[in-house]
Chain A
């Protein structure tokens, strides 16, 4: 039974020709790219040339799950979307949870590869062997909630899961996302715009049966322990109760809540209003979940006459970007902004951060009401958020400029405006400050698809005592050293950044939720991830092989980007991070540039990338079986 890796089943959809075909990826190849982002990259890049237009017909768009997806255990239903990104110009990907992922697998598929462009809007419907390309002309222009309803009516059935774009994707907003369940987003990197460029409104899958583990006794030992794990794990239990927004007030009290476009880390007038605890006590209607997950961290909020529970509720990143980044103190307006992004299909991080940038540019006099369509763009104007989001999605008036993303828009305004942007590789930073978490900051800089907070473990866990679960798990990766504060950057921290980045990359390959599976605080640790592979699908693997899977993925993206002309000059944190914060407990705090640059050099060495240009060396690619990318 063991040592045999399952074959991958790929659905190829050629929109130029209107044809679909199936392909079997042999197990020995699938094992190198065992799902998610790795599989997506392999399938997208094998016939994609560098230099193509991300929104042109030559870009390939891949939806992928993993060999493990659909097993009945918490944190196992994630879908990855891969394509060349219109936001970064490099290879992009993004993950989302919900129930859509598990039903891709239930239809016998590991990936759906979409090529070309349809001559009119359509959607793909998959029900086992039956794959249909159906007219979506009447759905075009509709927001997600409405389109969901119309698709169910069109098919005459309710037992489907739908991943779709909204008007933002149709109108090719650079940070448009893909939404399933009307509230789960493949948010980052503009994957929704790529889908829109193909005239593809939605992918719809019929619901099917979950995957059975090959070693049911061993597997159920893992899955049945979940309630006890939740009871014993305060961090994950708190995440379930208060959502990802539960720590917002803590960040504020420490002085590391990005506020007013990252000019300060302190938001005393608003933090309490927008934190997960306040959400829990006021507008939370219920907690929601993903397939088979006991954590139930997803928020469903309701504000009668203003915010519809259909569109879920804001995550920490969203309350930060529309709240503190924009100086907005109203949880209701933040929730409405979240809803509008889910309706129109926009990434909440890039959207909120782009508006925050525009607010600072407005306050500094770089733009005025003649540019903003008469909107008062001072920090704190919550009423402006829904108006701007609609304009962005429809690329109307000032919204057309904001739809470029903050960096590209700033470039049209000049150097002074560019200095106000908070991006890496043109992608807006999530709400974890490198000044507080320098290892996360390092990964923001070097990450191939731009700044991302879910690409490595966060520094504070190294401050836990050595007998803590967090530190004992990190020790399984060889990370032994503890710290007395989160801020220190040294050689061991660089190794922590690189090793946990590989680990998170593995999670994005296996399509595991990073709140349930991880290298420190999560419900299941490294040895249990290996156990999951063995008992779930009979994959006799090791932590070594799994870490290499993650390493391979990062290198695939970097190697593609190198061909696109990316160098270490693209691995730069924004100027703001090296500019002293103003006010609150972190007044005057900056990230030390010298130690950051030193860390980057060491990181390149550890990764096997050329120090001069930051790109993978030939031997690194060969070590990872990536000679085909040379």
Chain B
């Protein structure tokens, strides 16, 4: 199915979870995620199942040190 992720259209399997997507895209850092303009709570990120046409915004949290 088709979704938009960080302004780019991409094809993913039906029932892909956000955790799967983050793994596929190689995110290792902590991230914040917005779906269709609404931010997911930390407690929602893990199990969120992506829907067709979802507009996903993933923001890496890069701190100090």
Contacts and interface: CB of A to CB of B under 8 A. Distances in A.
15 contacts: A235-B30, A235-B63, A238-B28, A250-B28, A277-B28, A315-B65, A432-B64, A453-B65, A458-B63, A460-B60, A460-B62, A463-B61, A464-B32, A468-B41, A484-B59
Given A235-B63, A251-B62, A464-B61, A484 B41 contact: no
Contact of A467 (B28, B29, B41): B41
Interface in B20-52: 28-30, 32, 34, 39-43, 45
Contacts of A454: 64-65
Contact of B41 (A277, A465, A521): A465
Nearest to A244: B65
B63 A250 contact: no
A443 B19 CA distance: 35
A453 B64 CA distance: 7
Nearest to B57: A484
A484 B34 contact: yes
A601 interface: no
Contact of B62 (A239, A250, A457): A250
A458 B29 CA distance: 15
A441 to B, nearest CB: 13
Interface size class of A (residues with CB under 8 A): 35 or more
A465 B29 contact: no
Contacts of B45: 465
A514 B64 contact: yes
A461 interface: yes
B25 to A, nearest CB: 11
A468 B42 contact: yes
Interface of A: 234-235, 238-239, 244, 247, 250-251, 253-254, 256, 277, 315-316, 432, 436, 440, 453-454, 457-458, 460-461, 463-470, 482, 484-486, 514-515, 521
Interface residues of B, number: 19
Contacts of A457: 64
B63 A521 contact: yes
Contacts, number: 76
Contacts of B60: 250, 253-254, 460
A316 B34 CA distance: 29
A461 B34 CA distance: 15
Contacts of B63: 235, 247, 458, 460-461, 521
Contact of B39 (A251, A432, A482): A482
A482 B29 CA distance: 19
Nearest to B34: A484
B35 to A, nearest CB: 12
Contacts of B34: 484
Given A235-B61, A465-B32, A469-B42, 7 more contacts: A235-B63, A247-B63, A250-B28, A460-B61, A460-B63, A465-B41, A467-B42
A100 to B, nearest CB: 21
B2 to A, nearest CB: 23
Contact of B29 (A247, A316, A470, A515): A247
Contacts of A484: 34, 39, 57, 59
B65 A515 contact: yes
* B29, B61, B65, most chain A CB atoms within 10 A: B65
B65 A316 contact: yes
* B32, B34, B59, B62, most chain A CB atoms within 10 A: B62
A247 B39 contact: no
A239 B63 CA distance: 11
A463 B62 contact: no
Nearest to A486: B59
B42 A465 contact: yes
